[in-house]
């Protein structure tokens, strides 16, 4: 049977609390679906590593991680110890770039049993995917400060869009939309105000879209799109966005489906030249870290995305079914963000216990 090598990086804060629950569920998926996981855990990409070494990563991090089939990542960032831009550019953002993980796939789904803040929405009404450009755009290191500390101080930071970088993520999004029932692609733009890069983005959507006449396409300015996420989330199927717009939409989407705590993401190198990285959308949550109440579902769902990527779709489906079964059950096992009084470990253990032993039929949305 198959064997997969998984690099595990818990990182900081609640990353260290939710990763063990994700692993518990992954191990159970392996046991019930006849494959093996070789898991190696790393302590780098964390504030603790920074305190000991003065860097976020060891010199040989790249060949070390390249030896793995996938990276299972918690969250990084502990601003009390190391400034966020230092820790993030020194780890996660570096992984995304060096491993050319140019697609950040972030599903948004209202799950049965979860009460979202939007009135009158049922599971089935909200089911879309944000495809976020993940290696360029507004996240650039091009720019700088001049006349620092004077009244004439100037700060510049450029957005970088390359034809190669824009087209490849758009093509991925169109292909992805083509594989879904609705075959609908929404592009996030702001070509009215950001009048150089965003009109270019729109042009490339048109150009690449010519190869996909079977995919319906629309676009919204990012401000209006944010409002539609709240008011008309049922409109969306695949939403493609630049790095920053995708970042914002991928917190807003899950907030509309109840909690950031359930949201997964896959940082993918579609060519599979490098390992892909699977992490929840949320961060290290210093405000709740250490209390054992973080929701592990985002981390567990990431595990399902990882198994899908590794070629274990049945095990991936079993993980998601287990999540859905537990969410639809009694609320006391759920974490506080889901309205329960349960702990991270209780919820993780409950989900792991259902992996491979449950098939839930997701109820049809009321008509």
Residue/partner pairs of 244-248 with CB below 8 Å, 24 or more apart: 244/137, 244/138, 244/139, 245/132, 245/188, 245/190, 246/104, 246/106, 246/130, 246/131, 246/132, 246/133, 246/134, 246/188, 247/132, 248/222
Q: How far apart are CA 154 and CA 151, in angstroms?
A: 9
Residue among 247, 308, 312, 324 that touches ligand IPM (CB under 6 A):
247
Distance of CA 3 to the CA centre of its chain: 25
What six digits make up the tokens of 13? 């804060």
Q: Which of Mn ion, ligand IPM, ligand NAD, none does 275 bind, CB closer than 5 to 8 A by kind?
A: none
What six digits make up the tokens of 332? 């006391």
For ligand IPM, the closer CB: 197 or 242? 242
45 part of the interface to ligand NAD, by CB under 6 A = no
Q: Which of ligand NAD, Mn ion, ligand IPM, none does 260 bind, CB closer than 5 to 8 A by kind?
A: ligand NAD
88 part of the interface to ligand IPM, by CB under 6 A = yes
Size of the site for ligand NAD (CB under 6 A): 23
Q: Which of Mn ion, ligand IPM, ligand NAD, none does 288 bind, CB closer than 5 to 8 A by kind?
A: ligand NAD
Q: Is 142 buried (19+), middle (13-18) or exposed (0-12) by CB count in 10 A?
A: exposed
Provide, rounded to whole angstroms, the least separation between the CB of residue 301 and ligand NAD: 11
14 part of the interface to ligand IPM, by CB under 6 A = no
Residue among 104, 295, 321, 346 that touches ligand NAD (CB under 6 A):
295
Applying CB under 6 A, the span of 72-80, 196-204, 206-214, 325-333 interacting with ligand NAD comes to: 72-80
Q: How far apart are CA 186 and CA 333, in angstroms?
A: 37
Active site residue 251: yes
Which residue's CB comes closest to ligand IPM? 88
Q: Which of ligand IPM, ligand NAD, Mn ion, none does 294 bind, CB closer than 5 to 8 A by kind?
A: ligand NAD
Q: Which of 12, 69, 190, 237 is catalytic?
A: 190
Residue among 20, 39, 62, 79 that touches ligand NAD (CB under 6 A):
79
284 part of the interface to ligand NAD, by CB under 6 A = yes
* Residue 57 DSSP SS3: coil
Active site residue 100: no
Q: What is the largest CA-CA distance in the chain?
A: 66
Contacting ligand NAD within 5-34 (CB under 6 A): 14, 18
Active site residue 247: yes
What six digits make up the tokens of 235? 């409109």
Do residues 13 and 76 lie in contact, with contact meaning Cβ atoms separated by under 8 Å?
no
- Those residues whose C-beta lies under 8 Å from the C-beta of residue 6, and which sit 6 or more positions away, are 26, 37, 38, 39, 40, 68, 69, 70, 71, 72, 306
- Those residues whose C-beta lies under 8 Å from the C-beta of residue 144, and which sit 6 or more positions away, are 155, 156
45 part of the interface to ligand IPM, by CB under 6 A = no
Provide, rounded to whole angstroms, the least separation between the CB of residue 248 and ligand IPM: 9
C-alpha distances in Å from residue 117, one per residue of 126, 232, 248: 12, 13, 18
Residue among 247, 279, 312, 337 that touches Mn ion (CB under 5 A):
247
Q: Which of 72, 139, 176, 212 is catalytic?
A: 139
Active site residue 72: no
For Mn ion, the closer CB: 298 or 303? 298
Q: Catalytic positions, please?
A: 139, 190, 223, 247, 251
Give residues in contact with ligand IPM (CB under 6 A): 77, 88, 93, 247, 281, 283
């Amino acid at each position: 049977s198959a064997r997969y090598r998984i690099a595990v990086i818990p990182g900081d804060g609640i990353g260290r609390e939710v990763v063990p629950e994700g692993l518990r569920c992954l191990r159970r998926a392996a046991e019930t679906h006849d494959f093996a996981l070789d898991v190696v855990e790393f302590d780098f990409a964390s504030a603790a590593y920074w305190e000991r070494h003065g860097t976020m990563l060891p010199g040989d991090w790249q060949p070390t991680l390249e030896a793995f089939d996938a990276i299972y990542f918690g969250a990084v960032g502990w601003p009390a110890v190391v400034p966020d831009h230092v820790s993030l550019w020194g780890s996660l953002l570096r992984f995304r770039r060096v491993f050319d993980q140019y697609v950040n796939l972030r599903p948004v789904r209202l799950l049965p049993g979860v009460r979202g803040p939007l009135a009158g929405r049922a599971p089935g009404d909200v089911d879309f995917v944000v495809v976020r450009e993940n290696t360029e755009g507004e996240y650039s290191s091009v720019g700088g400060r001049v006349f620092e500390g004077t009244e004439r101080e100037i700060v510049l930071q450029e957005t970088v869009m390359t034809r190669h970088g824009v087209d490849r993520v758009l093509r991925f999004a169109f292909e992805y939309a083509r594989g879904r029932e609705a075959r609908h692609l929404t592009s996030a733009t702001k070509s009215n105000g950001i009048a150089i890069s965003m009109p270019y983005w729109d042009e490339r959507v048109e150009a690449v879209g010519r190869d996909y006449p079977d995919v319906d396409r629309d676009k919204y300015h990012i401000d209006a799109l944010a409002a539609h996420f709240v008011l008309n989330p049922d409109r969306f199927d695949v939403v493609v966005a630049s790095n920053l717009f995708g970042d914002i939409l991928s917190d807003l989407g899950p907030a509309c489906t109840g909690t950031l705590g359930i949201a997964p993401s896959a940082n993918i190198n579609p060519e599979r030249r490098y390992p892909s990285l699977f992490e929840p959308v949320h961060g290290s949550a210093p405000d709740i870290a250490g209390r054992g109440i973080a929701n592990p579902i985002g981390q567990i769902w990431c595990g399902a995305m990882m198994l899908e990527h590794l070629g274990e779709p049945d095990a991936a489906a079993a993980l998601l079914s287990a999540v859905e079964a537990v969410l639809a059950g009694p609320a006391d096992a759920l974490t506080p963000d889901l309205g329960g009084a349960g702990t991270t470990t209780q919820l993780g253990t409950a989900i792991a216990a259902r992996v491979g032993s449950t098939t839930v039929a997701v109820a049809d949305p009321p008509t």
